[in-house]
């Protein structure tokens, strides 16, 4: 199955252009949509899910037109939005059963079997009688995935699923997503670079409503024709260096500023050439750095 997004644009009533002529062709597997907060990721996810109208363009999933066939779309869609609300005084099994009914599963026995299967898959079956208000952030996200899998969806959308999770929960969530994403389309919308580098075989970077780059992560990294250099500078020198060099990223380390720089040759004495990473590609893209070599 293919998800085809063609020339999609969306402008809100306050004149903010959330999406600008977005086109993507997404097949089975994990696809990462990477971008900063406010880039248009959630708008695009809601539009694909049929929850928001587009102004221009088209979206199809297989033979389903997302705009015209919302009821058919819901039959194949699993969706975990960025803000997934839970009833705190209801236990996990009760809410799962309710959501399964809403998904059209009328047979009680079938719902119980499905609950056991999906809550076990997400490591929540043993907590099925616990009130959802007592769940940790990671447990809530795993419940969100469990409900998104009701009905064997062919398209699964997860919007910022690991934001706020601790490293253990993030790893558990990554493992769960990787298992799910083998035979269906899974779109992972996130601003966390590690989510995409760990999970996705294809990706796109979006900024200010526009798709800037699309392709396989490894191939995109290889397209960085300039070298990436890393070194440490004093805090007092950083401002001047950031104005005279193509600084990709920076962070404080051992009292100094560790920076990564794009350059054809050694930019600063003592800097070391390093292997480029997806994070370098991401920051270079959203900061509009010139990645083309002058050699």
Give the CA distances from residue 25 to residues 11, 130, 135, 183, in Å, rounded to whole numbers and listed in that order: 22, 41, 37, 16
Work out the pLDDT band at 238, boundaries 50, 70, 90: very high
Give the CA distances from residue 252 to residues 30, 235, 249, 255, 280, in Å, rounded to whole numbers and listed in that order: 33, 9, 11, 7, 17
Per DSSP (E only), the strands in 136-235 are 155-159, 185-190, 202-207, 210-215, 227-233
44-58, 62-76, 212-226: which has the minimum mean pLDDT?
212-226
Closest CA to 208 of 6, 3, 4, 22: 22
**For 224, which DSSP code?**
-
Query: Which residues, other chains included, contact 106 with Cβ-Cβ below 8 Å and sequence gap of 6+?
Result: none
Residue 294: per-residue pLDDT:
56
Q: Are 112 and 101 in contact (CB under 8 A)?
A: no
pLDDT at 83 over 70: yes
Q: Are 52 and 46 in contact (CB under 8 A)?
A: yes
Query: Which residues, other chains included, contact 175 with Cβ-Cβ below 8 Å and sequence gap of 6+?
Result: none
Which residue do the tokens 């960085």 mark?
224
pLDDT at 295 over 60: no
Residue 21: per-residue pLDDT:
96
Tokens of 239: 């401002």
Helices (H) and strands (E) in the chain, counts: 10, 14
CA distance 127 to 137: 14
Work out the pLDDT band at 211, boundaries 50, 70, 90: very high
160-169, 219-228, 258-267: which has the minimum mean pLDDT?
160-169
* Predicted model pTM: 0.86
Name the β-bridge partners of 203.
Answer: 32, 215
Tell me the mean pLDDT in the region 133-144: 88
Residues in the chain: 295
By three-state DSSP, how is residue 289 classified?
coil
Closest CA to 34 of 284, 251, 274: 284
Give the residue, 208 or 81, on which the prediction is more confident: 208
Tokens of 250: 């920076």
Q: Are 29 and 182 in contact (CB under 8 A)?
A: yes
Pairing of strands 210-215, 202-207: antiparallel
């Amino acid at each position: 199955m293919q998800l085809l997004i063609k020339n999609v644009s969306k402008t809100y009533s306050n004149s903010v252009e959330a999406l600008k002529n977005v086109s993507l062709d997404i097949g089975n597997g994990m696809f990462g949509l990477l971008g900063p907060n406010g880039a248009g990721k959630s708008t695009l996810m809601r539009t694909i899910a049929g929850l928001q109208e587009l102004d221009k363009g088209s979206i199809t999933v297989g033979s389903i037109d997302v705009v015209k066939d919302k009821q058919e779309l819901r039959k194949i869609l699993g969706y975990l939005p960025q803000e997934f609300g839970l009833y705190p005084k209801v236990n996990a099994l009760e809410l799962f059963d309710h959501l399964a009914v809403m998904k059209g599963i009328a047979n009680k026995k079938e719902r119980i079997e499905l609950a056991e299967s999906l809550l076990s898959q997400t490591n929540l079956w043993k907590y099925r009688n616990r009130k959802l208000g007592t769940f940790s952030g990671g447990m809530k996200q795993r419940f969100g995935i469990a409900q998104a899998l009701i009905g064997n969806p062919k398209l699964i959308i997860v919007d910022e699923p690991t934001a706020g999770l601790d490293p253990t929960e993030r790893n558990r969530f990554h493992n769960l997503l990787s298992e799910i994403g083998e035979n269906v389309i899974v779109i992972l919308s996130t601003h966390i670079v590690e989510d995409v580098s760990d999970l996705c075989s294809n990706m796109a970077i979006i900024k200010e409503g526009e798709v800037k780059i699309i392709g396989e992560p490894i191939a995109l990294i290889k397209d960085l024709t300039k070298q990436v250099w890393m070194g440490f500078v004093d805090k007092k020198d950083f401002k001047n260096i950031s104005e005279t060099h193509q600084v990709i990223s920076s962070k404080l380390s051992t009292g100094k500023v560790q920076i990564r720089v794009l350059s054809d040759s050694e930019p600063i004495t003592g800097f070391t050439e390093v292997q480029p990473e997806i994070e370098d590609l991401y920051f270079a893209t959203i900061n509009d750095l010139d990645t083309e070599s002058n050699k």
